[in-house]
């Protein structure tokens, strides 16, 4: 069986140049094709500054994109969820979602935030999150991460990105890093505009911190108690929270950028005064902020599995928790997710696909 042709962004710039020369073009034609793709071209036919024969050859030999847009849903608050599929692979089990979230104030010059996925499925299996309920299918390649940006740009301008879609980015780090370098250089979305969220494998963070990472770091903590974190973040079972926090401190020393700790608030479970006090105690004196995310309920589990039975916390409980952590000395913000009614909010990705 012959191998499927590699799409344009799966080729390095040098490889694309070589391919173009083989197909009878000139070296600079490779640059034109790549730039046209980033500028919005969605077929070689549109690239009229390339010779017609080369356009035809590229059409036959180098697919312009590997993904197709299978569905898009726009929530009332403006968040647009895109379902991308990868033709040639199993339908239904090989799709990811990307969410384009416009700024609250439509006149804001900030531009929208794009939430990108890094894996098909997720191996971490947090019991409150839809993305990992059916395990990991595969890692995305760098080009598949970059293509999410190109699809997002079809919805509107993008000023920021959060690597907070489906998947655990540190378990597919090589591809994620390669993609973010391109996003940084060729789409002009700089390191301070990109936030990567991870469950925080300490040894991986220690490896990455000294390498000038092209993003800000967010670590999903979810509880200050070790035994409880083993349940909420199963892939981190046995890793003491103190080691995760120490890796966060190391990150700050290496990058001079503060770490955000994410904390999904599950009503009546990890939103108690005891949790707030212990979280405050753990973070006291550390350069970090806490981002509270009131839990977004899941509406459909894979197959006939039961839905997780967590509760969305009451607004008063969220406010009290925030106040307690702030009082203990750590800056705390709350993220009431957008896109809730169309399953485009945090932790809801990969439902109804």
**Is 168 known to be catalytic?**
no
Q: Which is nearer to ligand SAH, 10 or 124 (CB)?
A: 124
Cα distances (Å, whole numbers) of residue 301 to 72, 131, 250, 312, 350: 20, 10, 38, 17, 10
Q: How far apart are the first and last CA of the chain?
A: 30
Residue number closest to ligand SAH, CB atom: 347
Catalytic residue among 115, 122, 126, 346: 346
Note the residues at the interface with ligand SAH (CB under 6 A).
124, 126, 128-129, 164, 168, 197-199, 220, 262, 264, 293, 295-296, 346-348
Q: Residue 4 Cβ, how far from ligand SAH at the closest point, in Å?
A: 29
Minimum CB distance to ligand SAH, residue 176 (Å): 11
- CA distances (Å), 253 to each of 140, 170, 248, in order? 31, 20, 9
**Active-site entry in 95, 97, 144, 262:** 97
In the complex, the smallest distance separating the C-beta of residue 171 from ligand SAH, rounded to whole angstroms, is 9
**Smallest separation (angstroms) from ligand SAH to the CB of 292:** 10
Strands (E), the chain: 68-74, 80-85, 95-101, 112-115, 119-121, 136-139, 158-163, 194-198, 216-220, 259-265, 288-294, 331-334
Is 346 a known active-site residue? yes
Q: Angle at the Cα of 347 (from 67 to 297), degrees rounded to 5? A: 130
Largest CA distance in the chain: 70
* Active-site annotation, residues: 97, 346
């Amino acid at each position: 069986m012959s191998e499927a042709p590699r799409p344009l962004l799966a080729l390095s710039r040098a490889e694309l140049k070589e391919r173009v020369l083989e197909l009878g073009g000139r070296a600079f034609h490779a640059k034109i094709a790549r730039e046209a793709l980033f500028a919005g071209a969605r077929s070689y036919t549109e690239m009229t500054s390339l010779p017609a024969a080369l356009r035809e050859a590229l059409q036959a030999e180098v697919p312009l994109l590997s993904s197709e847009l299978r569905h898009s849903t726009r929530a009332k608050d403006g968040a647009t969820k895109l379902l991308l599929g990868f033709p040639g692979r199993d339908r239904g089990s090989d799709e990811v979602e990307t969410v384009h979230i416009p700024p609250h104030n439509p006149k804001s010059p900030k531009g929208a935030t794009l939430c990108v996925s890094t894996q098909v499925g997720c191996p971490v299996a947090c019991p409150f999150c839809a993305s990992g309920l059916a395990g990991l299918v595969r890692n995305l390649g760098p080009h598949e991460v970059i293509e999410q940006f190109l699809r997002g740009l079809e919805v509107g301008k993008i000023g920021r990105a959060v690597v907070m879609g489906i998947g655990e980015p540190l378990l597919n780090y090589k591809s994620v890093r390669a993609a973010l370098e391109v996003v940084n250089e060729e789409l002009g979305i700089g390191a301070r505009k990109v936030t990567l969220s991870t469950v925080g494998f300490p040894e991986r963070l220690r490896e990455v911190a000294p390498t000038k990472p092209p993003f800000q770091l967010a670590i999903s903590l979810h509880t200050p108690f070790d035994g409880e974190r083993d349940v909420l973040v199963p892939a981190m079972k046995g890793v003491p929270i103190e080691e995760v926090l120490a890796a966060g401190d190391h990150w700050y020393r290496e990058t001079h950028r503060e770490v955000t700790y994410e904390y999904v608030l599950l009503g009546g479970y990890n939103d108690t005064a005891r949790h707030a006090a212990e979280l405050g105690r753990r973070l006291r004196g550390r350069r970090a902020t806490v981002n509270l995310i009131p839990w977004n309920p899941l509406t459909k589990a894979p197959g006939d599995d039961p839905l997780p039975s967590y509760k969305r916390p009451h607004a008063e409980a969220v406010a009290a928790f925030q106040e307690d952590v702030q009082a203990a000395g750590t800056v705390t913000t709350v993220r009431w997710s957008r896109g809730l009614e169309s399953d485009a909010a945090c932790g809801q990705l990969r439902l109804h696909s």
